[in-house]
Structures are given as C-alpha cells and as structure tokens.
Amino acid sequence: MSDRSAIEWTEATWNPVTGCTKVSPGCDRCYAETFAERFRGVADHPYEQGFDLTLRPERIHQPIAWRRPRVIFVNSMSDLFHEDVPTSHIESVFATMRVADHHVYQVLTKRPGRMASVLRKVQPKPLEHVWLGTSIELAKYTWRGDKLRATPASVRFLSLEPLLGPMADELDLTSIDWVIVGGESGNGARPMERAWVTAIRDRCLEAGVAFFFKQWGGRTAKTGGRELDGRTWDEMPTDRVDVAEAALVPGAPAARARRRSS
C-alpha cells in the first residue's frame, strides 16, 4: 500500500492483488507490468514473481489501519476482476471497504462484465464511498461502458487512458459521473491528438459529467504537461467529494458535476 501515489486523480494505492494479463491494446505498454518485471527473480521482493497474478491476502485489511480519510485506488498493480481472482477474494476486499468506510475507493477494471456479474451477487446495494470504473482506450471498446452501467454503483467513471484514438461520437455518457483522459507515457508512447481530447471534454461539459485531464503523455508522464486550453481540468464527481477535496485539492473546492440517478 502506498500513501503517496503519483497518480493525479488519487491519493493512495491498495493492492490486495498484483499481476495481470493483457486483454486489449491499452495493455501493450502497461506501466505496472514494466515496474513489476524489473524485480522478477529478486529473492524476497514483493515482485519476485514479476507480474504473475498473485493474491495478497495479507493486505486485505490494510485500509482499516489508516485512520485519516484517503482517496484510494484499488489494485493499481492488477485488476480485481481478473478471471483468475476468486470471488471469495473479491468479497473479502469489499468487506474491508464496507468496514473502512471513512475512505473513498476507486476500483478500475478492463473486465466490467465480470465486475457486473460478481457485484450483482456479492454487493447488490451500492456503497456510496466506492467508485467503480472501467478503462476504454479505443472506440471499439466503448461497450465496456454498457457493462459498467449494468453494475450496481453510486459513482461510475471511465478512464480513457491511454487514449489511442477518437471516440467522442461513440462514447455513451449515460449514468457516468466522471471521465478521466490521459495520453500514454514511457518509451515508445503512442501519441494522443488534441482533437480527440477536446471532443471528449466538450461531450462531458454538455452532459454535466466531471472531466479530469491527467496528462498529454510522452517519454515521461510529465513530458507534455497537463494543461488543456490554457488550464488544468481536475473535476471530481459529487459523491463524497468532501473527502476527495481534502485529499486531492487541499484548500480549493473541487469542480462538481451534476449528479444523475444510478
């Protein structure tokens, strides 16, 4: 668990699972895999097995010990709804989130179909402090948003990172509360065009959906900066925004989107 995440839209990370497998082009240059594989074979290192999927039951209760409220990205180094993660392990993760409800949790998956089917059984009543999201990198994967809409959630969000092509026309923002957009970073990063970003931003403005622009991307995450049309876009969804404001934008009110029904 890290209390100092460099990810702009969160504060801390919690990884009760590590490792994953690729499902679509957005995974091709996975930052988590690159990091983990550096330590493959290093005895007693948390990533001694590299990016192989690994359950971490010893980490299940970590957020309970954190007394100060935090915004926590769940499984920044994996996908909680990977097909090889047992439902019982997912249930344990949600049990901790129910107990440690002074935090805000952000759960992001590229497998929203499994998330919908599992949570309809184990957590059919949405938890207000748990935000559920899915990643979409190309227009051909916007169907993931439909699976997200079928998931019981109080806050639903889309992470369009790395954004690899235009998708504003195909993007359905119905029942979506928050959209994050970002370009790819690292060696060989695929470029993101400004028109792709502004079209999505404009759709969000029209729909009253909170818009967060993470980065332009490039060789490093900070290469292109974060400004879009002369400003930064750090909007957050309304639910539990009190905690998000305190954690992410100290001393400044977060921009708020209109809240639609779930």
229-242, pLDDT tens digit by residue? 999 999 999 755 55
80-90, pLDDT tens digit by residue? 999 999 999 99
Tell whether the model's pLDDT for residue 251 goes beyond 80.
no
> Under a CB-based contact definition with an 8 Å cutoff, are residues 72 and 37 in contact?
no
126-150, pLDDT tens digit by residue? 999 999 999 999 999 999 999 999 9
**Using omega within 30 degrees of 0 as the cis cutoff, is the peptide bond preceding 126 cis?**
no
What is the C-alpha separation between 170 and 140, in angstroms, rounded? 9
> Under a CB-based contact definition with an 8 Å cutoff, are residues 212 and 234 in contact?
yes
How much is the CA Rg of the chain, to the nearest whole Å? Answer: 17
pLDDT band at 256 (very low <50, low <70, confident <90, very high): very low
Mean pLDDT for the stretch of residues 34-55: 97
Which positions ≥6 away from 143 have C-beta within 8 Å?
none
Residue 6: what pLDDT?
82
Residue 247: what pLDDT?
55
Nearest Cα neighbor of 106 from 65, 75, 149, 62 is: 75
Q: Which residues of 173-182 are buried (b: 16+ CB within 10 A; e: fewer)?
A: beebbbbbbb
pLDDT band at 4 (very low <50, low <70, confident <90, very high): low
pLDDT band at 185 (very low <50, low <70, confident <90, very high): very high
Tell whether the model's pLDDT for residue 48 goes beyond 50.
yes
Residue 115: what pLDDT?
98
